[in-house]
Amino acid sequence: MIILKNLYKFRRSVTERLNFLLSSIDRYNCIYNEKEKENKNKIESEIYISTAHDQEEINSLKNAYRFALAHYLTFDFNIFNLNYIHILLNEHVTVRTELIGRFKDQNNYIVNKYSNESNIIVRCTVKAEYVYFEMIKLIDWLNERLNKKDMHPLIIAAVFCLRFTSIHPYVESNGRMSRILTTIILLKYEYNLFNNGCLENVTYLMNDEYVNSQILMQIENKMKYRTLVLYLETYLNIIKTGYIIELNK
């Protein structure tokens, strides 16, 4: 994958802006974790989702987050487990149920469902016949990073999210899947802010910034180093915003 080649360059020459964002988020995380020591026992009712999804979708999303919170420490990233989360996310679905928990059988696109205009196409994605191969490569890359601990966890989460959404392995629910999976990654590294659906909410809040970074990727038609860094800055700013919102409540 081109993105992996770029990451070797990235790891040798991290920009000052990214370093500053990483340090800021780590400081916020320490403050948040200290604050949460007084209230360690999280309960299911505290999972709060504020998005444009209908109530049935939100209920399914909450169930998927509950699973993630209960199992993140022992969660193994593999095709079977990813498909299981996809099933949880789509418990409310009544059409084309044969594709729930299975990779897509037709090509699809990244669309901006929250735009005022109807389903604006943001990016093209990996063709259906290549999805399994690309997902195996991505999962292998992620597991290697988790085992070697040779990259900042926020960068691991950001890159995984980017590549997952670029592949767009499922017919539906790819955005929600990416946020739950990156939540699991972040929780493994004790970024405990994300134990209540916060990533879902703040991504929705900053949708325009996130979509613009995806559009730039599509315009360049390659995951070049320059656009990769721009995307990472956008992703890290989303995370930082989540901390600022939560700490100011």
Q: What's 100's domain CATH number?
A: 1.10.3290.10
Residue 158 counted as domain residue: yes
Residue 42 counted as domain residue: no
Interval 213-241: pLDDT, tens = 555 555 444 556 667 777 888 889 889 98
Residue 47 counted as domain residue: no
pTM: 0.83
Question: pLDDT grade, residue 52 (50/70/90)?
Answer: low
Residue 44 counted as domain residue: no
Structure tokens at 176: 């929600």
Residue 124: left if φ>0, alpha if ψ -120 to 50, beta else—which one? beta
Residue 124 counted as domain residue: yes
Please give the residue range of the domain that contains residue 84. Answer: 2-34+52-247
**What residues are paired with 179 via a beta bridge?**
none
Burial 131-158 (b: 16+ CB within 10 A, else e): beebbeebbebbeebbeeeeebbbbbbb
Interval 84-114: pLDDT, tens = 999 999 988 766 777 899 999 988 876 655 4
Average pLDDT over every residue of 41-46: 47
Q: What's the Cα-to-Cα distance from 208 to each of 81, 166, 233, 238, rounded to whole Å?
A: 31, 17, 14, 11
Least confident among 14-28, 131-145, 218-232: 218-232
H or E element that contains 211: helix 207-220
Structure tokens at 108: 């699809």
Which amino acid belongs to residue 40?
K
Number of domains in the chain: 1
Residue 40 counted as domain residue: no
